[in-house]
Structures are given as C-alpha cells and as structure tokens.
Amino acid sequence: MNGNTGATMPAWDIRLQKIVILIGRLGLAYLFFSQLFWKLPPTFGCANNFAFPQPAAENYWTANGSSGLCFWLGMESIYKDLPRDVLVTDMRPAGLPKIGVPLTPLAQANAALVDNVITPNIGVFGWLVWLAEFWVFVSMLAGLFTRFGGLVSLGVSAQLFVGLAAIPRPFEWEWSYGLMILLSLLMFGLAPGRIWGVDAALRPRLAGSRNLFGRLLWWLT
C-alpha cells in the first residue's frame, strides 16, 4: 500500500522497481568481477619483489617496475600531502565561486595506515583486499547476504575515494569512486538479494531466530 494515498502500486511499477534493483546489483557484481584479475594472489599484480613507486623518481609512476596493487597503494602514499578538493563544482563561468571539500587530512590519515600497516604486510593485506572484492562479486551475483556485501563494497569504495580521488597522474576522476560509493550505499540500504536472490529464500527462515547470531544473519540478508 502507498502510505500517502492508500492506493495499491500498479504491478508494472513494482516489476520495474525490482528489475532496476536487480540491474544495479548485477552491475556492482560485474564491476568488482572485472577488477579481480589485475591483482590476483599471491603476487597481487605486484612486480619486482613487491616494489612500490618511489616518490623521488622523476617518472615515479613507471619507476622500479612497480605494478598491480603495490602501484596503487604507492599512489595513495605519494599524493597524501597534495592539496585535493572533492565534490568540486566550478561555478566561475556563472560568476559564482568554485566550491569543494578538502580531502588532504583524510588522505594523510589513510596514507599513514597504508605506509605503516598495509605495505609492510602486503602479503596479508593483499589477500584481505582481494577477498573483500571477491566477496562483493559473489554476494551481489548470487544475492547472498547482500546487505553485508553492500557494506563491504561501501568500505572498499570509500577507501579508494580517500586515497585516489582526483590525483593528477594517473588522473583519477573523483566521481569514478563517488558513484561506487553511491551504488554501494543503495545496495546496503536495499539489500537487493531479497529480489530474485538467495536472500529471498534465507530471510524467512531466519526471521524467527531467537539467538543473536541468527538475528544478525537475518539483518545481513
């Protein structure tokens, strides 16, 4: 029932909503699937014994053979102090100011984590990154625990946004990551596996659970 009018939604409207949610779910699944293969374990695409980009090198984006996950983690560190604004709208052609949100403080905090925790333990964190992205793919493809899949996708996307959005070389368009965040947020809120997914079968079975773990699983579907 429609809360405002009391009218029943037309069948075509309900069907259209389900189809659009399914398309969003499968689109997010394919996005993460397409990113699994350039950072495959156990090297995670890294070359030259897990070399990271050297910021002192003139051509740091190609120096010392850095590649794969190591390259992009290195970019997050190299650009940590660069003044960067996101959510930028340049209204100067209309005689209005350019607006944006400074990202540098968050980028510096992110780089501290990358430099001191992740890169020294790339063999462990590489697996965690790859498995997180693989889980999002499986979750969204099968419609399995999709609220949890959306939450993981949201975390991965937010970290990429903070670390890489609007860096100049290689240029990373901020909305590439911003749109990932928005789609992940929608999938988290909608729990799309309830529509033509495994969650649609699991959720009724978990609904009557009286233990904490069962209620948690119910919430994640």
CA dihedral 52, 56, 61, 62 (to 10 degrees): -80
Q: What is the pLDDT of residues 161-193, one digit of tens each?
A: 999 999 988 899 999 999 999 999 999 999 999
Measured distance CA(221)–CA(210) in Å, rounded: 16
Percent of the chain with pLDDT over 70: 93
Average per-residue pLDDT for the chain:
92
pLDDT at 210 over 90: no
Measured distance CA(50)–CA(70) in Å, rounded: 6
Q: Which residue from 145, 140, 136, 142 is spatially nearest to 218, judged by alpha carbons?
A: 145
Lowest mean pLDDT among 49-63, 98-112, 135-149: 49-63
Confidence class for position 90, pLDDT limits 50, 70, 90: very high
Site of tokens 């984006």: 61
Tokens coding 143? 């419609």
pLDDT at 73: 95
**C-alpha 215, offset from chain centre:** 26
pLDDT at 159: 98
CB-CB neighbours of 77 under 10 Å: 20
pLDDT at 60: 59
Backbone angles phi, psi at 102, to 5 degrees: -65, 135
Confidence class for position 59, pLDDT limits 50, 70, 90: low
